[in-house]
Amino acid sequence: MDHAPQDARSQSIKSAACVLIPLAIYLMPIPAGLTPLAWQLLAVYLAAVLGIILRPFPEPVVLVSALAFTALALGKPAEALHGFGDGTPWLVFTAFIVGQCFIETGLGTRIAHVMIRKFGKTSLRLGYVAMLTDLILAPATPSNTARTGGLVSPIYFSVANALGSRPDENPRRIGAYLSVLMYQNSLITATLFITAGAIYPMMIKMNNDLTGTTIGWAQWTLAMALPGVICLAIVPYLVYRMFPPELKTLDDSMIGAASGDATAMTRQEKILAALFVFAIVGWATGSITKVATVSVAMAVMAMALLSGVITWDRVLKAKAAWSTFIWYAGIIALADALTKAGFFKWMGEAFQRNVDFSGFNPIVVLGALILITIVVRYFFASTIAFVVTFMPVIFTLGAATKLPAIPLLLLCSASAQIASLPTHYGNAVGPVLFGAGYVDRATWWKIGHVVCYLCMAIFFAFGLAWWKVIGLW
């Protein structure tokens, strides 16, 4: 998401905070049990996190600066560059490029239009079609902003416009319903696939580093399917009841205006459809074939380039993909360096000495931690800032109190997306959809609160039971 330019004074204040606060920590006495390197790396990591939150400069600039300090001042160039050799940033990057292919070829728009023609007979069914459009595209698009903000919302805002519903003219006819529903859809569909959210590979790696447990693409999808599908089945109807559109049914002329004329698939669309099926099959069977998720993603990107589905010039122009790759690899490098320096082990041992949950049921403790992850989201306008700031603490606390690692990971992953719903700023796609101007803030927040707490209750109750059945804890 693009950010508005900031004035020099604001940038200077934010830059000073990003330097002075970590510098104060850097100069403090080193706690017992920590090496000087671990304490110094913590200061650099906090500087990077503050930079992501306050954003005096774009995230890639913040992380390149932090890595430069690690390499030069701490004398650890290998540690600084380690993240670029990790598969996690490459998985996110390649998924971004595959998502761009859907936009470039028009296949994403075609999928939506076909579904509108087939199923869009009523406003409620159109809401479910919008959800299914987002769901189909989710495995190949690790960004809510790119998927829903850049691909899905232009289609459905055009539908609303074709049906005579604009922000300044008949917004409640259907545009307001679709606008707020697309936000709910986006953050719920993102929970179902590792490749639907850029934060998930990072969270899996954090969890693995701290607990030694991990989960693959197919296992994740199986685990999230039951609670996720329940939420997706309920939410379009719930929003329809809470915020009903004035237009209830669509006749054939309305559907034709909303979906456009059917045309033959192009060669690029056919190739991309085949590659998409290949990717889903490759990811779903990875536990059997032992082919890594990132290997499948890179193969799909390579074949898309070789077949002309997308050109290298278009890849070079995918600024969001390159920016994410740089800062993502950077934060992973710093987190890995902290782990290897023993910081998180030390923090876990400190929790074990000072925090006693022995008298509480583990499910109660798990629920309390998840509730905390929901409540603190009001203070974060960035999902990645929330993850890099808060998740290491939650995972370390979970390990120290011997909570089941995979259920904690899955619930935190669901919360990282769904807990953005109570506000219009908790996820980058929120300002895109809310900014269209169809819905007032009070209504947006009211619907978001209801959906957030309902869906997290579903993930907690049905998710934990389902994960027990399939042997995840």
For residues 45 and 335, what is the distance between their CA atoms, to the nearest angstrom?
Answer: 7
Tokens of 92: 């996110």
Tokens of 267: 């060669």
Q: Mean pLDDT for the chain?
A: 88
Cβ pair 174, 246 in contact under 8 A? yes
Residue 43: pLDDT band (50, 70, 90) is very high
CB-based contacts of 421-425 (< 8 A; 24+ apart in sequence): 421/183, 421/184, 421/187, 421/448, 421/449, 421/451, 421/452, 421/455, 422/377, 422/378, 422/448, 422/449, 422/452, 423/377, 423/378, 423/448, 424/183, 424/448, 425/381
Section 279-289 average pLDDT: 80
State residue 1's pLDDT score. 44
Range in 31-40, 108-117, 436-445 with the lowest mean pLDDT = 108-117
The residues near 295 (Cβ < 8 Å, ≥ 6 apart) are none
Q: What is the pLDDT of residues 167-176, one digit of tens each?
A: 889 999 999 9
Beta-carbon count within 10 A of 267 CB? 11
Cβ pair 363, 465 in contact under 8 A? no
Tokens of 21: 């606060």
Helix, strand or coil, per DSSP, at residue 261: coil
Section 339-345 average pLDDT: 83
Residue 127: pLDDT band (50, 70, 90) is very high
Q: Say if residue 3's pLDDT is above 80.
A: no
For residues 178 and 130, what is the distance between their CA atoms, to the nearest angstrom?
Answer: 8
Section 201-223 average pLDDT: 90
Cβ pair 301, 202 in contact under 8 A? no
For residues 205 and 433, what is the distance between their CA atoms, to the nearest angstrom?
Answer: 31
Cβ pair 467, 223 in contact under 8 A? yes
Section 192-211 average pLDDT: 89
**Eight-class DSSP state of 265:** P
CA count, 13 A, side-chain hemisphere, 300 = 34
Range in 226-235, 390-399, 443-452 with the lowest mean pLDDT = 390-399
Helix, strand or coil, per DSSP, at residue 237: helix
Tokens of 372: 């905390």
Q: What is the pLDDT of residues 58-104, one digit of tens each?
A: 889 999 999 999 999 999 999 999 989 888 788 778 877 887 888 78
Q: Is 170 exposed, middle or buried (0-12, 13-18, 19+ CB in 10 A)?
A: middle
Residue 244: pLDDT band (50, 70, 90) is very high
For residues 332 and 334, what is the distance between their CA atoms, to the nearest angstrom?
Answer: 5
Cβ pair 337, 329 in contact under 8 A? no
Phi-psi sector, 308: left (phi>0), alpha (psi -120 to 50), beta: left
Cα–chain center distance at 184: 13
Tokens of 148: 């829903």
State residue 4's pLDDT score. 54
Beta-carbon count within 10 A of 87 CB? 15
Q: 328, 415, 320, 403: which is closest to 360 by C-alpha?
A: 403
First to last CA, the chain: 37
Q: Is the pTM of this model over 0.85?
A: no
For residues 353 and 332, what is the distance between their CA atoms, to the nearest angstrom?
Answer: 28
